[in-house]
Amino acid sequence: MSFTITHISPVQVKIDVQVPSDEVAASVKRVLQTVGRQARIAGFRKGKAPLHVIKRLYGDRINEDVIDDIVPRQLGVALQEGELYPLSQPQFDLGTLDESQDFSFSATFEVAPRLEALVTEGVTAEKFRLKVNEALIDAELGRMQSDLAAIRDLEAPRAVAEGDVVRCELRQVVDDTTEGEPIPQQDFTLLPDRTPQGMIDALVGKNVGDKATFSLGEGGEATFACEILEHKERVLPQLDDEFAKDVGDYETLADLRADIEKRHLTQMEERESERLRTAVFDALCEQNPMELPPTLLQKQVDADKKRFASMMSQMLRDAGAEDDEAAGMQRDDAAFNERIETDAARLVHRHFLIEDIAQREKLEVTDADVDAWFVQTAESTGLPLPRIRAEYGKGERIMDLKGMLLERKVFDFVLPLITIEEKDMPSQGDANDSPSDSPSDDG
């Protein structure tokens, strides 16, 4: 068997394979014997019919089976010897089969793009100097204080203030003159994270026995009448060493502040590490353009659209939509499609860039790397090591894990090769202190 490789483009290859006649004849014989063992032919016992009889009766099938025998096997040998790894299903151009002649066929398929050389000159990325400001620590201490506040009767009657606790009887206003049945009495802590702001605004400044109305919803769809039945105040504990001992295993308030700072800094470091990796690979992609395999790129686009549709469908179901309405959720405007395609191209480009660097530098993820990640994750999460191994050690999870670890290895390799510009971090309120990123208030 001989073959030639033609690079139609950086991501498309055609391989022409020529199979010698003796190998074709051997394949024909194997197929005839296989068919002969299964065929029932009048005048012959099963499996005893001569090969020329089988060939005469099953000629078309024989040719198809021979091609099915030769093509995958010989293509596999050619791919291995040529070190080719198809990313798409090959498109075949088959020659005419004649067991006395050489048999030729070709296969065209997509392959991964490869860089002639990795360009790192001129690649820059920003790295932020991380610091937890005192206001961030004070804010978390304030939330801890609020959680441990004592509720007590007022020493003397006064108007309701934000932060107080009031017991109310609510009735929904049906129209301008009619109120519904009373809703069971309940206590409200007048803080924005616990009670709707509209209700707080309506009750602050009122006294026990007063009534107020307020509306809820973006368009004020629901209006309620509220009567204040009881009024109590919340007393915050002092921020001192005793407070620190109450909220955790701390000896002093300084120890508590240091732990809050450490937790925030750890979270900031994790976010900054991910941000820097993204910035570095984006910059490398810009300096190292690649032609991307169309089939794989389209698969990524389709997967992203499907994921978006699934997410929107779930949101609709959560909002009470019917299943068929939610299942039909689609979006097909030009701006959305362009963004999906741009993001998909960016992801695929990054994947092939990482694979290319790993291959040229012989970087790989070993079993020891995976085991080390298991141990580190178990220690950082407090979960049992066997549970971590069971959850991440098989199927797609282990493939995703190895991909992440390979990306980190490649990042560690390229980081010294590019220019890193250190800068003061942006305002923590903008870059590092979104509510979803803040540590738990449990103390």
Model confidence pLDDT, tens digit, residues 240-264: 999 999 999 999 999 999 999 999 9
10 Å CB burial of residue 111 (0-12, 13-18, 19+) is middle
For residue 432, the model assigns a pLDDT of 42
Least confident among 173-177, 252-256, 294-298, 389-393: 173-177
Distance (Å, rounded) from C-alpha 181 to C-alpha 190?
24
Span 149-235: which CATH code? 3.10.50.30
Tokens of 130: 């991380």
Domain borders along the chain are: 2-110, 149-235, 251-437
Tokens 């659209």 appear where? 305
Count Cβ atoms below 10 Å from residue 395 Cβ, excluding itself.
Answer: 8
For residue 179, the model assigns a pLDDT of 74
Contact 220, 137 (CB under 8 A): no
For residue 336, the model assigns a pLDDT of 86
SS3 288: coil
For residue 265, the model assigns a pLDDT of 94
Question: The pTM is what?
Answer: 0.72
Per the CATH hierarchy, to which homologous superfamily does domain 2-110 belong? Trigger factor ribosome-binding domain (3.30.70.1050)
Q: In terms of Cα–Cα distance, which of 301, 271, 202 is closest to 438?
A: 271
For residue 158, the model assigns a pLDDT of 94
Q: Is the pLDDT of residue 322 over 70?
A: no
Q: Give the pLDDT confidence of 357-398 residue by residue, as tens digits.
A: 999 999 999 999 999 999 999 998 899 999 999 999 888 999
Least confident among 128-137, 167-176, 356-365, 376-385: 167-176
- Domain 251-437 fold is Trigger factor, domain 2 (1.10.3120)
For residue 49, the model assigns a pLDDT of 64
Who's near 272: CB < 8 A, 6+ residues apart? 127, 128, 130, 425
Q: Name the DSSP class of 89.
A: P
Higher pLDDT, 301 or 432: 301
Higher pLDDT, 282 or 32: 282
